[in-house]
Amino acid sequence: MTTRADFTDQEWARLQRAPIVAGMAITLADPGGPIEVIKESTAAFKTVNEAAMGARGGLCGEVAISVAEMTQQRKNPLGDFKPRGADAGEQILDELRAVNSLLTEKATPEEAAAFRELLLTSAQRSADAAKEGGFMGFKAERVSEGEKRMLDKLREVLSP
């Protein structure tokens, strides 16, 4: 079983922020207004909290519990990770590539698969959280083309 002890502090911080970063990828893929940003961010945090509540051990559960504790203490799980500029989307993908490498290197195949699924679930729920485009909700899409493209990129980046 893979645990916190298998990772450096920097690696653990990277794992903790990964579910939120996966949701952030969706927000940056098709930025909407402040309400959409809040809904998408909330969906990512909710995914982690649900994973923490249903945790039965293992890496995924340990990370989820750790993130839930951080948010209860009003600590930001993103830490110093702040993608900026025109290549913010690529910075996020690079971060998740690094997480995927950590999983491949240090986690059991089952735990790595479960963690990747958590990240993809966080991204999908963020995409589903708010409608994009349209006018006052009319002709809006549940998941925009930009979000669909980002979900495809995330699946590629997080493949074993």
- Long-range CB contact pairs, 48-52, < 8 A, 24+: 48/19, 48/20, 48/118, 48/122, 51/19, 51/118
**pTM for the whole thing?**
0.91
Per-residue model confidence (pLDDT) at position 158: 97
Positive or negative CA dihedral for 27, 61, 64, 157?
A: negative
Contact 49, 41 (CB under 8 A): no
Compute the distance between CA of residue 117 and CA of residue 95 in angstroms, rounded to an integer: 16
Per-residue model confidence (pLDDT) at position 133: 58
Closest CA to 159 of 125, 122, 123, 113: 113
Per-residue model confidence (pLDDT) at position 125: 96
Per-residue pLDDT of the chain (160 residues; tens, 9 = 90+): 899 999 999 999 999 999 999 999 999 998 778 888 899 999 999 999 999 988 777 899 999 999 999 999 999 999 999 999 999 999 999 999 999 999 999 999 999 999 999 999 999 999 999 776 555 555 566 688 899 999 999 999 999 8
